[in-house]
Amino acid sequence: MASTDPMSPRERLLDAAARLSYRDGVSVGIEALCREAGVSKRSMYQLFESKDAMLAASLERRIPGYEARLAHPDPESATPRERILHVFHRLEQGSVDADYHGCPYLAVLVELKNPEHPATRVARGVKERLTEAFRAEAERGGARDPQLLARQLLLVFDGASARAGAGVERLDDGLATATVTALLDAAGMD
C-alpha cells in the first residue's frame, strides 16, 4: 500500500525532532522521535549519523521560518527603530500561543552544556546573527554604542522569551516593546 504522506522519512524525522524537542526538550528519546515520525530506528540511523546530528539538522531547517517571522514585513520603508521594535512585537504576539515554550534556539543553548554539540553550534549561530542584525540596525539608527545596544536587546529578547516560555511572565501587555523603547531612547537612537 502506498503512503499518502508526501513527506520523506528524513523530513518526517526533522519535523518530529522540531516538535518534540521544542515541547519536551532535547533529551527526548530516539524511540519517541521515530514513533512520532513513523520511521524505524534503523532508517533514522541510515539518514543521520546520530540523534545529535538529527537535532542540529532540525534546528538548521527551521532557521528561515524563524528569521522570517522576526523580519519586518516592509523593511525598505521601516526605520531601524521600527525594524527592531517589530522583532519584539512578534515575540509578544507569539508568546501568547498555547504551545509557546520560548525561543527554541535559546532552549537548546540552555539545555545542552556542551559548546561543541552540533545543535549548540547551530543555536549559537542563530543568536549571533540576531545580535548582528540588532547591531546593524542600531548603527543605522545612530545609537551611541551599537554593539552594547545589540547585546542589551538580545538580553531582553532571550529573557522575555525564557520567562514567557516558562509561563512566569505575560508579554501581551507590551512589556518587552516598552523595555526596548526605553533602551533605544537611552542609546540615542532615532
| Domain carrying residue 18 | 9-186
Residue 1 counted as domain residue: no
Tell me whether residue 99 is in a domain: yes
Count structural domains, the chain.
1
Indicate yes or no: pTM above 0.85.
yes
CB-based burial label for 131 (10 Å; 0-12, 13-18, 19+):
middle
The three cell numbers locating residue 4 = 499518502
Residue 55 CA to residue 16 CA, distance in Å, equals 10
**Residue 4 is which amino acid?**
T
**CB proximity list for 165: less than 8 A, separation 6 or greater:** 95, 100, 101, 102, 103, 107
C-alpha span between 72 and 158 (Å, rounded):
19
Look up residue 23 and give its three cell numbers. Answer: 515541547
Tell me, yes or no, whether 89 lies in a domain.
yes
pLDDT in tens, the chain (190 residues): 444 557 899 999 999 999 999 999 999 999 999 999 999 999 999 999 999 999 999 999 999 999 999 999 999 999 999 999 999 999 999 999 999 999 999 999 999 989 999 999 999 999 999 999 999 999 999 999 999 999 999 999 999 999 999 999 989 999 999 999 999 999 999 8
First to last CA, the chain: 62
Please report whether residue 40 resides in a domain: yes
Residue 2 lies in a domain: no
Q: What is the CATH number of the domain that holds 110?
A: 1.10.357.10
DSSP codes of every residue in 17-39: HHHHHHHH-TT--HHHHHHHHT-
Work out the burial of residue 47: count CB atoms within 10 Å of its CB; fewer than 13 is exposed, 13-18 middle, 19 or more buried. middle
DSSP state of 93: H
Q: Let me know if residue 82 belongs to a domain.
A: yes
Instruction: Provide the grid cell at 162.
Output: 525564557
CB neighbourhood size of 65 (10 A): 8
Question: Is residue 4 assigned to a domain?
Answer: no
Nearest to 108 by CA among 90, 121, 98, 93: 121
Q: Does any domain span residue 154?
A: yes
